[in-house]
Structures are given as structure tokens and as C-alpha cells.
Amino acid sequence: MDSNLKDKIESLRALLDAMEGDVAKSDEGTLAAGGRVRKQLQELKRVAQEARLYCLERDHSRKGK
């Protein structure tokens, strides 16, 4: 993992910001926008998992020192 935790959190924020328009359209009833939101949420989940694993690995490496 080549970035730090701060970078991963910024990626999560960027993903959330990018979803904003599609979320509004989905709330208005646009089915295609709902599909895009689901896809973006899956990406958000993937990046959050990377951040979680990064923290876990970092903490384990610090504990071993």
C-alpha cells in the first residue's frame, strides 16, 4: 500500500463528493442514477476496506517493534 491513511481518507471524501449529484437524481426517482450510486458505494466500500487493512497492518508492525 503506497499511500498513507490521510490519502485514503481523502479518497473516501472525494468518492462521497462525486456521488452527490447521482444521489440527488436517485432521490428524484431516476433509476439509472440509483445504479450509479450502488456502483459508487461498492467502490467506497473497497477503499474503506483498504484503509482499514492499512491501519491494521500499520498497528501490527508498530506493535512488533
Provide the residue-wise pLDDT of the chain in tens; the chain has 65 residues. Answer: 457 999 999 999 999 999 999 999 999 999 999 999 999 999 999 999 999 999 999 999 988 76
Region class of 52: left (phi > 0), else alpha (psi between -120 and 50), else beta: alpha
**Domain count within the chain:** 1
Say what angle helices 5-27 and 31-63 make with each other, to 10 degrees. 160
Q: What is the residue range of 21's domain?
A: 5-63
pTM for the full model?
Answer: 0.82
